[in-house]
Chains A and B, each alone.
Chain A
């Protein structure tokens, strides 16, 4: 069996001794699309930053991250960042430099990482812009970010990320700030790029609909821990973890009967107030005495893991 492209083992991220991500295991195979789903406080963004090596200095990191078979340390991350591993963020307006043209920002990556000269970088930048389906690419190179729409700016971000042909693209809430129709376009683009370049994508989002639409496999996170990990189809047709089912039930739907939404009572515990054992237990309708202990990771079906005592 080929080694996974990205292999995260026992990842723990803490601030001032308080963990925000706890013992996380994550695998992404080459060319696969993985959805990481969670609400605020789940630690999903922190995980992405940890993989990329972009955590703030005050973060304490435990566990290992291996990429393309090799363990990553700070130096390795430095060289991989922007080249083999790239990241796209949520707010394209603040992620792009407002005083540089779009062309300059794409060229910057090319010239820094691949040492291209100015003209060569410009040509490649235009190529990248048409790759992300921005019409009239050569002229658009001279646009400033504020002259483009939200969807276009996000496409520019993707172009910058693609510049050095990464094998892994991490997208942190890339469409959350965008309208539904624009979001659909961006997801289509990412799908196309995956097919064309065999690129793996880690899509982080709170939107279960987006995950259902885009991801092949899904990891559901709650309060810093992975609670369920499964292929998308089986996750949505038969969710096992009580949190996953509750979350799916709480979403107002566009089809089907209308009834009061079964809301999950309570709120996500704060990082320094985590309950011992299963972190979802205080809000879980099926909690029992055994939940006071750290739940085991149980394999319930092919490639489908759940961290819940119900399945022991």
Chain B
């Protein structure tokens, strides 16, 4: 039976990277997100105009040859603003994904490994999770004041519990494997066991989780900016641009429309990539390729 399974899995399912590449959703997600990422990275090269320069002559210019995405009420090019806004959103998003990985990873790993602190650490995480993340972020950002740094701090606090849970779950499972007992048997210290044996094996689901967190962070940052508690104007933020266009939805819908599309594509792309990663890394789904 075991040999047959070995044949089935060896013949039908190659490595994780190949499976990933074969995954339709992942490819689509990568395409979408990659597009946004490239635009954000090369914003200064791609943007035709200065995103913060006002020009009253071109106020409310509809999308056309001069302004692909139209112009807003200060005459600023919406396309350029969206490009730079995307850059800022992604910068914040990546930073939050990183900080939550570190903070949540640490908390979750310790909670999963050290039984005595597990209880109150996870109660703390549960308490934070009881608040809808976006609301919590809004409250924190409002309290701290509008700035990029404060937005990152607020979002990190709001989303760390999710990462902590995922890491803790992984650690709880890996902790029971015989090789962990084996490491203790050779005299390894707990720190060594946690860092070299447990974490490398428990961290895989974290990669998937962080793609979702990135998407959530981008979305949440947009909400913060929309409400005015994110990075302050005139810095272009996707949420801020949508807010600018809020009063002109009938006359100049393009102001809110294009940043909205940008956010949607980013979040969709990330979610599809996350799904692809999840399926590729799941050992049970080895023979199925979607």
A interface residues, Cβ below 8 angstroms from B: 15-16, 18, 20, 40-41, 43, 45-46, 56, 58, 268, 270-272
Contact A40 B1 (CB under 8 A): yes
A-B interface, 10 closest residue pairs, ranked by CB to CB distance from nearest: A41-B3, A16-B11, A45-B1, A271-B7, A20-B4, A40-B2, A15-B7, A15-B8, A18-B7, A46-B4
Contact B12 A271 (CB under 8 A): no
Chain A nearest Cβ from B261, distance in angstroms: 43
Question: Which residue of the partner chain B has the closest CB to A14?
Answer: B7
Q: A16 contacts which of B1, B2, B7 (Cβ < 8 Å)? A: B7
Contact A58 B8 (CB under 8 A): yes
Contact B4 A15 (CB under 8 A): yes
Asked if B6 CB lies within 8 Å of chain A CBs, one says: yes
How distant is the Cα of A272 from the Cα of B1 in the complex, in angstroms?
A: 15
How distant is the Cα of A45 from the Cα of B10 in the complex, in angstroms?
A: 19
Chain B residues contacting A40 (CB-CB under 8 Å) are 1-3
Chain B nearest Cβ from A50, distance in angstroms: 11
Chain B nearest Cβ from A188, distance in angstroms: 26
Chain A nearest Cβ from B47, distance in angstroms: 52
How distant is the Cα of A145 from the Cα of B94 in the complex, in angstroms?
A: 49
Interface footprint category on B: 10 to 19
Contact B2 A18 (CB under 8 A): no
Contact A268 B3 (CB under 8 A): yes
Chain A residues contacting B7 (CB-CB under 8 Å) are 15-16, 18, 20, 270-272
How distant is the Cα of A281 from the Cα of B35 in the complex, in angstroms?
A: 58
How distant is the Cα of A56 from the Cα of B7 in the complex, in angstroms?
A: 13
Chain A residues contacting B1 (CB-CB under 8 Å) are 40, 45-46
Beyond the given pairs A45-B4, A268-B3, 18 more chain A to chain B contacts, judged by CB atoms under 8 angstroms and listed by A's residue number, are A15-B4, A15-B11, A16-B7, A16-B8, A16-B11, A16-B12, A18-B7, A18-B11, A20-B7, A40-B2, A41-B3, A46-B4, A270-B3, A270-B7, A271-B4, A271-B6, A272-B7, A272-B10
Contact A270 B6 (CB under 8 A): yes
Interface 1/0s, chain B 1-40, versus A by CB < 8 A?
1111011101110000000000000000000000000000
Question: Which residue of the partner chain A has the closest CB to B3?
Answer: A41
How distant is the Cα of A267 from the Cα of B191 in the complex, in angstroms?
A: 39
How distant is the Cα of A270 from the Cα of B4 in the complex, in angstroms?
A: 9
Question: Which residue of the partner chain A has the closest CB to B8?
Answer: A15
How distant is the Cα of A43 from the Cα of B7 in the complex, in angstroms?
A: 12
Chain A residues contacting B8 (CB-CB under 8 Å) are 15-16, 56, 58
How distant is the Cα of A271 from the Cα of B11 in the complex, in angstroms?
A: 11
Chain B residues contacting A58 (CB-CB under 8 Å) are 8, 12, 287
Question: Which residue of the partner chain B has the closest CB to A18?
Answer: B7
Question: Which residue of the partner chain B has the closest CB to A268?
Answer: B3
Chain B residues contacting A45 (CB-CB under 8 Å) are 1, 4
Question: Which residue of the partner chain B has the closest CB to A21?
Answer: B4
Chain A nearest Cβ from B100, distance in angstroms: 37
Contact B3 A20 (CB under 8 A): yes
Question: Which residue of the partner chain B has the closest CB to A48?
Answer: B1
How distant is the Cα of A245 from the Cα of B1 in the complex, in angstroms?
A: 24
Chain A residues contacting B12 (CB-CB under 8 Å) are 16, 58
How distant is the Cα of A15 from the Cα of B10 in the complex, in angstroms?
A: 10
Q: List 15 A-B pairs, Cβ < 8 Å.
A: A16-B11, A40-B1, A40-B2, A40-B3, A45-B4, A46-B1, A46-B4, A56-B8, A268-B3, A270-B6, A271-B3, A271-B6, A272-B7, A272-B10, A272-B11
